[in-house]
Amino acid sequence: MKFEEYKIAEGIKTSISKLGFKKPTDIQFKSIPPILRGEDVLAIAQTGTGKTAAFAIPVLHTLQDRKIKGRPDGVKCLVMVPTHELALQTENVFRVLGKHTRVKSFAIHGGVDQDPQIKQLNKGVDVLIATPGRMFDLVSQGALQMHRIEILVLDEADHMLDMGFIKDIRDLMKHLPRKRQTLFFSATINEQIKKIAYSLVSDAIRIQISPKDPVAKNIEHAVAFIEMDDKRFFLESVINNQPDQKILVFVRTKVRAERVKKALDRVNVQSETIHSDKEQEQRELTMQQFRSGSVKVLIATDISARGIDIPDVELVVNYDLPESPEYYVHRVGRTGRGTNKGQAISFCSKEEREMLGIIEEQLGKPIYRTEISKGFYRDTIEASKENEETDWQSLLDQEDEFQKKKKKKNKKSKG
């Protein structure tokens, strides 16, 4: 079935056509009809399958239809997401798809001044995309009313639970009308997620797009055994051998992110970091630079990059193995988006071999091993150390030159 055959507003079809989409993905094909019928949906689908559009398309059609019939103003659809970046990304999907409709979409999140957000809410918003913290701030101040919400969407629900938002989700229900449509989207499912999901939905249509291999078939992923202290040398080598590629590097913590960046700085490899300690304005600028390609290497933590759709990431490097197998799938899923091919390489130290076993057990098969000979291992470290020494020497030379100029200047002033 093609998009042009769906009974959706012509304006939405126009936007879909301009994006070059002709046929829906599996999750879109299975989700759009029941959502259009007003049914609750519990959908489980891996990252990169087009799930944002799977709920955005039918929500936009439903609200466009109701606006034409003259329904009262106010937020009609609330989309809850776990992170600032995902809020902005989701807002963009709604705006692009809804460009030729009357539906107004807007995202609110923390880390920025709330006054412009309140001002926009007062002007009128149909679809509100929100992170939990800022949403509850505005509700408590009376700046956000929820009594007219007809559709609730919980996106990246598993990640929201991982981040400890389960209480926020339950508190949210107190502010919403009992009669509503609820759409629950998650990349993974476990007993806790199942329990919270079924407490929110009513006679939901359950949709699960879960291939035998949770990693998309167009992604080649491998593991290399590298000791913890040697990882920086191999990361430098990987980046230098693929200078034109867009590379996303995952680390466990924000402290590690900054340390890896400093290590790359010392060998003149440009990179940027993204994590929760960064100001929102900084994070948005970094993401913009990475998307445009002006920054080729981005070092990220799981929380900051979860769910973000970054076009044309050719390579993902797991500098540190993740803390859970689910995170592994999400990480490597940042490349090979849609029909593009992608590659991912994981650096595994002795301390991480147990986690590698857990990841492979979850995947149901071993990850391909990239063999590194002793000679190549030694040469990679030595070549990197030479670059590092050259870099430090150039800094020392610059300092010597600065001191010489300073002495000459002092002599002249005394004379």
Residues pairing with 316 in the sheet: 248, 344
Domain boundary among 177, 209, 241: 209
pLDDT tens profile 55-82: 999 999 999 977 655 555 789 999 999 8
Domain boundary among 152, 174, 209: 209
Is residue 179 in a domain? Answer: yes
- Report which residue type is found at 141: Q
Q: Are residues 363 and 305 in the same domain?
A: yes
Is residue 415 in a domain? Answer: no
Q: Considering only CA atoms, which of 121, 64, 60, 130 is closest in space to residue 96?
A: 60
Q: Are residues 194 and 230 in the same domain?
A: no
pLDDT tens profile 197-215: 888 888 889 998 865 567 7
Is residue 48 in a domain? Answer: yes
Is residue 395 in a domain? Answer: no
Q: Are residues 295 and 264 in the same domain?
A: yes
- Edge to edge, the sheet with strand 297-300 lists 272-274, 297-300, 247-250, 315-318, 342-348, 219-225, 368-369
Q: Are residues 32 and 14 in the same domain?
A: yes
* pLDDT at residue 306, rounded to an integer: 64
Across 356-360, average pLDDT: 93
Is residue 232 in a domain? Answer: yes
Structural contact between residues 76 and 87, judged by C-beta atoms closer than 8 angstroms? no
Residue 29 DSSP SS3: helix
Q: Are residues 275 and 379 in the same domain?
A: yes
Task: Tell me the residue range of the domain where 256 lies.
Answer: 219-389
Residue found by looking up tokens 């060998």 in the block? 267
pLDDT tens profile 109-167: 988 899 999 999 999 999 999 998 899 999 989 999 888 999 999 998 887 877 778 88
Q: Are residues 9 and 149 in the same domain?
A: yes
Residue by residue, DSSP assigns 80-112 as E-SSHHHHHHHHHHHHHHTTTSS--EEEE-SSS
- Edge to edge, the sheet with strand 41-45 lists 105-108, 127-130, 77-80, 151-154, 181-186, 41-45, 205-209
Q: Are residues 284 and 379 in the same domain?
A: yes
Is residue 75 in a domain? Answer: yes
Is residue 397 in a domain? Answer: no
Q: How many domains does the chain have?
A: 2
For residue 151, the domain's CATH number is 3.40.50.300
Q: Are residues 255 and 139 in the same domain?
A: no
Mean of the per-residue pLDDT values of the chain: 86
Is residue 230 in a domain? Answer: yes
Q: Are residues 308 and 224 in the same domain?
A: yes
Residue by residue, DSSP assigns 239-308 as HHHSTTS-EEEE-SSHHHHHHHHHHHHHTT---EEE-TTS-HHHHHHHHHHHHHTSS-EEEE-HHHHTT-
Q: Are residues 183 and 252 in the same domain?
A: no
Q: pLDDT class for 84, splitting at 50, 70, 90? A: confident
CA dist 63 and 44 (Å) reads: 24
| pLDDT reading at 308 higher than 80 | no
Residues 6+ apart with CB under 8 A from 356: 223, 321, 346, 348, 367
Domain boundary among 181, 209, 237: 209
- Report which residue type is found at 50: G
Q: Are residues 242 and 289 in the same domain?
A: yes
Look at 406 and 40; give whichever has higher pLDDT: 40
Q: Are residues 28 and 149 in the same domain?
A: yes
HSE-up (13 A, CA, CB side) for residue 86: 24
